[in-house]
Structures are given as structure tokens and as C-alpha cells.
């Protein structure tokens, strides 16, 4: 029952903070009361974008007992992981971007290869940890933990992917944000796809820290080439579906092997 209560608490508070803060932002911007750079708008956007993290820490410190809190924080700060998984977290989003770009355009002309921009990668990655990456404390941290005993990881991945995409929905209606010029269906498919590869990372490493890093890398990759190419032809949909099924198959295979080992 506690798990169900925490799941409901996380979802209700996270969606409420995102949707209410975004609605206020839209109203204030469209009535020309404030510019997007106004501190009040920025605070509202901080609350909206930070809602999974804010609510996660509330649950960790006010709903978890001491032992569970300690275990969660140890995974949040778990950095002693095989270099292979560090490479997976950082490089996979870029490889996915290259795959989707090539599939869509049959070339890589839409990707930046300027040395000066790649030298900035560590800084952009660090900024992205705080500008999006920390969401994973909520999504692949608290919510994943609360629901993993109720569903198979394959199904849970789809559930969190769908919830994650719906949480982003208000951002498409704020013209000043990059979301406003994206295709909503493609974006929703991409969140489900990345949910799969993030779940796989959590399953293999138990490290929330690496999930934060991978989320940051997803956002960073967008600075070097659009992960969702503007050409919304059938190829991009096909590529996303292939990646979704690939991640889900890998998760299912790991789950099946783990169950066999237990037996």
C-alpha cells in the first residue's frame, strides 16, 4: 500500500507542478504581462522542469524510512561502474542521433562536426545534468522503484515512457521553448524509446547517477544535431519503432535470464 501511495503522490504532485506552472507561464506570456526572461517566468519554469526532482526528494525524505533512504541515496551517488556503462550513458544518445539522421537524410550533413563546438561538450554535458538530467531522480529513481514490483520491467518501461511524454506536453504550447517546433507524436515516441534504454541502464548498473548522466547526454546530443530530424517522413517513424523494439527486446531478454537464474 505504501508503494501505491508513493506512486500516486509522485505522479499527482509532479504533473500538478508542471501543468500549473506551465499554464501560468502561458497566461503571463500571452497577455504580455511579462517577457520570457522575467524572473517570475524563470521561477515558474524552474518549478515545472524541476518537478520530478523536487517531488522525488520530498518522498525520499518524508516517506522513506532511514534504511530505504540510505539505499536510494547510495544508488544516486553510485559512480563506481564499469567504463562500458559510462560509455553507454554518454555515447548512446549520440549514436542514436547519428542513426536517425542518416536514416532520414541518407547523409550526416545536419550534424555539426566543428571542433570548436565539440570542445564545449564537457561544459554542455555538465549544464545538461542540471537542465534536465536530474529529472531521472524522479522518473528512473523513485517512480521506477515504486512500480518495479508491480509490473514487469518491459511493461514498466512503456508506462514510464508514456507518463514522461505526457508530462512534457505543456511545454509544446510555450513558443519560447524549443519544444514548440517539434512534432508531438515523434517526441512521444522518442521518450518511449529513451525510456527503454534508460531502463536497461538502471537494470544493469542500479546507478541513478548514470541515468542522470545519460539524460544529460540526450539533451546534449541535441546541440550537435537534431535527434528528431525536421523531415517527418516515414523513415524517422520506422527508426524510432526499431529502436523501441530493440530496447524492449533487450530488457525482456535480461528479465527472462534473471528469472531463469532465480529458478
pLDDT tens digits in sequence order for the chain, 263 residues long = 344 799 999 999 999 999 999 999 999 999 988 999 999 999 999 999 999 999 999 999 999 999 999 999 999 999 999 999 999 999 999 999 999 999 988 888 888 888 888 999 999 999 999 999 999 999 999 999 999 999 999 999 999 999 999 999 999 999 888 777 788 999 999 999 999 999 999 999 999 999 999 999 999 998 898 788 766 688 999 999 999 999 999 999 998 887 666 55
Burial class (CB in 10 A: 0-12, 13-18, 19+), 192: buried
Considering the entire predicted model, what is its pTM? 0.93
Task: Kindly state the DSSP code that residue 133 receives in the 8-state scheme.
Answer: G
Three-class SS of residue 145?
A: helix
**52 contacts: CB under 8 Å, gap ≥ 6:** 10, 14, 135, 136, 137, 138, 139, 167
**114 contacts: CB under 8 Å, gap ≥ 6:** none
- State how far the Cα of 236 lies from the Cα of 226, in Å rounded to an integer: 12
The pLDDT tens digits of the residues spanning 115-173 come to 888 999 999 999 999 999 999 999 999 999 999 999 999 999 999 999 999 999 999 99
- State how far the Cα of 259 lies from the Cα of 194, in Å rounded to an integer: 24
Three-class SS of residue 175?
A: coil
For helices 83-105 and 208-221, the axis angle rounded to 10 degrees is 30
235 in Cβ contact with 104 (< 8 Å): yes
- Report how far apart the first and last C-alpha atoms of the chain are (Å, whole number): 27
Residues 43, 47, 50, 53, Cα dihedral to 10°:
130
Longest dimension (CA), the chain: 63
Residue 47, all three cell numbers: 518549478
Amino acid at each position: 500500500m505504501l508503494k501505491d501511495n508513493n506512486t500516486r503522490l509522485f505522479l499527482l504532485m509532479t504533473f500538478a507542478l508542471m501543468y500549473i506552472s506551465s499554464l501560468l507561464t502561458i497566461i503571463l506570456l500571452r497577455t504580455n504581462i511579462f517577457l520570457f526572461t522575467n524572473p517570475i517566468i524563470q521561477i515558474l519554469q524552474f518549478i515545472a522542469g524541476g518537478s520530478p526532482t523536487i517531488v522525488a526528494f520530498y518522498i525520499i525524505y518524508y516517506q522513506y524510512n532511514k534504511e530505504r533512504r540510505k539505499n536510494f541515496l547510495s544508488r544516486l551517488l553510485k559512480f563506481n561502474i564499469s567504463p562500458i556503462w559510462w560509455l553507454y550513458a554518454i555515447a548512446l544518445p549520440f549514436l542514436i542521433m547519428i542513426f536517425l539522421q542518416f536514416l532520414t537524410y541518407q547523409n550526416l550533413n545536419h550534424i555539426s562536426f566543428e571542433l570548436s563546438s565539440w570542445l564545449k561538450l564537457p561544459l554542455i554535458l555538465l549544464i545538461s545534468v542540471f537542465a534536465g538530467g536530474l529529472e531521472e531522480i524522479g522518473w528512473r529513481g523513485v517512480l521506477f522503484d515504486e512500480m518495479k514490483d508491480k509490473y514487469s520491467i518491459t511493461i514498466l518501461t512503456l508506462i514510464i515512457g508514456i507518463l514522461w511524454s505526457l508530462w512534457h506536453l505543456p511545454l509544446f504550447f510555450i513558443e519560447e521553448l524549443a519544444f514548440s517546433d517539434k512534432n508531438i507524436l515523434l517526441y512521444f515516441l522518442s521518450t518511449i524509446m529513451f525510456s527503454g534504454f534508460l531502463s536497461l541502464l538502471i537494470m544493469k548498473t542500479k546507478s541513478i547517477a548514470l541515468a542522470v548522466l545519460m539524460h544529460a547526454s540526450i539533451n546534449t546530443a541535441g546541440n550537435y544535431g537534431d535527434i528528431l530530424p525536421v523531415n517527418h517522413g516515414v523513415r524517422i517513424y520506422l527508426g524510432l519503432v526499431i529502436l523501441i523494439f530493440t530496447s524492449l527486446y533487450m530488457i525482456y531478454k535480461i528479465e527472462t535470464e534473471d528469472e531463469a537464474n532465480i529458478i
